[in-house]
Structure 1
Amino acid sequence: MRILGIESSCDETGIAIYDDEKGLLAHQLYSQVKLHADYGGVVPELASRDHVRKTLPLITAALKEANCTPEDLDGIAYTAGPGLVGALLVGSSIARALSFGWKIPAVAVHHMEGHLLAPMLDEPRPEFPFVALLVSGGHTLLVKVAGIGEYQILGESIDDAAGEAFDKTAKLLGLDYPGGPLLAKLAEQGTPKRFIFPRPMTDRPGLDFSFSGLKTFAANTIRSEGDDLQTKADIAHAFQTAVIDTLAIKCKRALKETGIKRLVIAGGVSANCYLREQFAKIMQGMQGEVFYPRTEFCTDNGAMIAYAGMQRLKAKQYADLDSKVRPRWSIEELPPLK
């Protein structure tokens, strides 16, 4: 079976074709970073318009890359939520129209399930059950995963997501958009322990996160300590260390509480090199395993939507013609595979 995947939840237009026997056949991605850079963040209306311009040409390019035609496809998967409503509607409308025209079923995919299953695109694949840490610009979730569609949220951010806090702190440091990767690069030049930032909500029971106060702490430090390059690097180092330590403390707590020794980390922040170094040490000490998506599949992409959609397609969990997008959508609401 072959499926076309369409990702349009925010500021990346991702198209992919996945074959359940041969694996990923095509992967096309267009990033809107330059479009939004002047505004210091994503402008929803501009994002939607750009998806309109890019989606069909990328589908054509993916079909050519995979050396196949619409007649070779068995289904179309699209991101139905969560995300920006206008951007989601573009992908959904195109997917539903092609589904109707090509007479193949469409599958509505949960964006975070796409991230959660992204490590399955490569070998070795994590076996169920596992604990998943999903960290991106819009979400920070700890999820117990018993199987596809069998999700229990263990903890989540009560304010800013980890990736959002990275981007906002980077902006305070005067870095360009998107700032998260630039902050991580700047942190490499930082002096360890010159500044010590708090590890929010780690001094109490529970698995929820909070990064808004950490961002405020960084803002106050920037104002009081000046803005020379080395000081900025030291602040970036302290901030990044605090975020990763907080994620690590919560993950260790979740693994101990569940008794599970497999951890999946996915989402844009999972590409962070310091995060991967720290979690390699942590999981080795716990005699466990940690799995990540390939770096190019950490951020939003069509491949993860195609893979997640294939699982739902095989279970015949099709979307109705009048199905709606869901800007807010709990991953716990997804049905298990039949």
Structure 2
Amino acid sequence: MESHMLVTRKPDPTPTASSTSPSPHRPEFPFVTLLVSGGHNMAVLTRGMGDHIILGSTLDDSVGECFDKVARLLDIHDVPGGPVLEKLASEGNPRACLRELAKPLAKTRDLELKNGCDFSFAGLKTSMRHLIEGGKYSKPDMAASFQKRCVDHLVERAGRAIDWALEIDGSIKDLVVAGGVAANKSVRSNMQELAKEKGLMLYCPPTRLCTDNGTMVAWNAIEHLKEGLYERAPCTAESAEKFVEVRPRWPLGPRDERCRGRDNAEGGRKARKRPQPEEPSEEQLREIKRVAAEVRIS
């Protein structure tokens, strides 16, 4: 998740349409992140590497998951289906059947949820299924109306998250939108309008990097390495057993007390500069060389 956010800070060697040289601009801490992908949907205040506060999260499906499920309902068999649904939506009228699609969290009696930063897409997915089964509208119109409902919900919640973040830290100047769904043109254009309204600069990864996990994880490692936020690998097999910590879900950080979405960390681990261990002894170096030789032989 952090890698999605930080890849926007990676220098882009690809010139923009209005320039022949790479852009030197990148988001500076602190900034607000809207993370939109198939696995996550979060609004986050990012104050530094490993220093995040979750302002809002999804109560059920993520927006990317919802896009893919609705794509299948529309007989789109590509994986992922979201990009094809976006293309289909570009051929339709976004207001054709908008009134028949549930507005997320609009009817909840829970005022904290209604006025919070959490997301919900399960109800919209269900109403979309009923709309498709009704057969009254064309697929492009249904896709366009569905996409508009999703984007409007993201804009509403992201706007509130920006307000909450500015209450915590008034020095915020940037909005980052990252994750696979950040490649969606409607998401980008609407977030650009929101950022302008809030007086922020918008940063999105280049489209090709929105789903490139290898690049984003590598860049995250570079950022941590430059700040000294790492540990040297152990020199012996015995110490290696104590060095590796395997966790299937790593908490991004603590959540704001108003956030009620799922999969949020109660604690989280703040990155910190670690004292570097002593250089390996001669005995340890001999052991390393011996193991390396065995690996080459095998």
Contact 1:261 1:286 in 2 (8 A): no
Tell me how far 1:258 sits from its aligned partner: 2.0
- CA drift of 1:316 comes to 4.5
**Offset of residue 337 of structure 1:** 3.7
Q: Is the 8 A contact 2:29 2:48 kept in 1?
A: yes
Cα RMSD of the aligned pairs, angstroms, is 1.7
Query: Contact 2:6/2:216 (CA < 8 Å) preserved in 1?
Result: yes
Structure 1 residue aligned with 2:2:
113
Higher strand share: 1
1:252 offset after TM fit, Å? 0.7
Contact 1:157 1:208 in 2 (8 A): yes
Q: Computing the radius of gyration over CA atoms, which structure comes out larger, 1 or 2? A: 2
Q: How does 1:181-330 map to 2 (within 5 A)?
A: 181-196=83-98, 197-201=101-105, 204-225=114-135, 231-259=138-166, 260-314=172-226, 315-318=228-231, 321-322=240-241, 323-330=244-251
Q: Is the 8 A contact 2:34 2:41 kept in 1?
A: yes
1:160 to 46, 49, 61: 61
Distance 1:243 1:324, change over 3 A: same
Cα distance change on mapping 1:337 and 1:293 into 2, 3 Å: farther
Alignment of 1:58-207 (within 5 A): 112-122=1-11, 123-176=24-77, 177-196=79-98, 197-201=101-105, 204-207=114-117
Distance (Å, rounded) in 1 between the aligned partners of 2:224 and 2:150: 34
Q: Would you say the 8 A contact 2:94–2:147 is kept in 1?
A: no
Residue 261 of structure 1 and its aligned partner are, at CA, apart by 4.1
SS in 2 for 1:331: coil
Q: Report the TM-score when normalising by structure 2.
A: 0.71
Instruction: Mark the runs of 5 or more structure 1 residues left unpaired by the alignment.
Output: 1-111
* TM-score, normalised by the number of residues in structure 1: 0.63
Q: Is the 8 A contact 1:202 1:250 kept in 2?
A: no
Contact 1:266/1:292 (CA < 8 Å) preserved in 2? yes
User: What is the alpha-carbon distance in structure 1 between the residues aligned to residue 89 and residue 48 of structure 2?
Assistant: 37
Q: How many residues align?
A: 224
User: What SS class does the counterpart of residue 199 from structure 2 fall into?
Assistant: coil
**Compared CA separation, residues 285 and 316, structure 1 to 2 (3 A):** closer
- Matched to 2:176, the amino acid is V
Runs of 4+ in 1 over 6 A off after TM superposition: none
